[in-house]
Amino acid sequence: MTGIRPPQQKRSRASLERVLAAGTQLLEEEGWEAFTLAEVSRRAGVSIGSIYARMPSKDALFRAIQERSLQRIDELRDGYADLGRWRSFASRELVSAVIAELAATFEADARIVSVIMHRGAVDDAVAGRSSERLRALGDRFRALLLTRREEFVHGEPELAADVAFRTAYGTLARQIMYGPTFESPNAIPWDRLVGELGDACGTYLFGV
């Protein structure tokens, strides 16, 4: 459900791929204001007619680009759900590793994620699509941590796991959206920030 007619032929698939890549690059470089199908057409070397044959509007292209980014969230979710991957971690290490994986997913396409987040602030449809996938991610994040519920020092494990997710996700998301000096001028390097979030959430859930 991306609003794009799927291409049947190899050549069409390649040109759709070029359109998606050019659209992504344009958004990353120039932001939403400069995002037009005419410019995407120029950059992709695909005629405007062929683009319109595939998608009705620039919103449809934006939606397809967002969908690609959300697929990374789905992959992260599936990684959390694969409980065997995490069995060998001690509980505190598990928290750090789970948050590091969340951060790495953000980092992998930070620029387009930032553009999508800014659009989401003024376009409820964009925000709603992200929200749905983030909730599914949050479910798996919590379920993974709750496999260690007997080690929680917090009396309400479900609440604590949810607060840990909100804190880790919210802090990372705002760094991606506004950069490292919005809340405070003391920029903390990304990898340090990620480590400290793991430490803070680990202590909160499992104690020192």
> Which residues here bind other proteins, judged by CB under 8 A?
28-31, 33-34, 103-104, 107, 110-111, 114, 117-118, 121-122, 127, 131, 134-135, 138-139, 142, 158-160, 162-167, 169-171, 173-175, 177-193, 196-197, 199-201, 203-204, 207-208
Nearer to other proteins, 4 or 136 (CB): 136
Q: Exposed/middle/buried for 201, CB within 10 Å: 0-12, 13-18, 19+? A: buried
Backbone angles phi, psi at 24, to 5 degrees: -65, -45
Of 79 and 138, the one with the shorter C-beta distance to other proteins is 138
Query: ∠ CA(26), CA(27), CA(29), 5° rounding?
Result: 65
CB of 95 to other proteins, least distance (A): 12
DSSP E strands, 60-148: none
- The minimum distance between CB 196 and other proteins, in angstroms, equals 5
Residue 24 C-beta: closest distance to other proteins, Å: 13
Query: Cβ closer to other proteins: 14 or 125?
Result: 125
Nearest-approach distance from CB 107 to other proteins, in angstroms: 5
C-alpha 73/C-alpha 109 separation (Å) is: 11
Give the 3-state secondary structure of residue 3: coil
Which tokens in the block code for residue 147?
């496999």
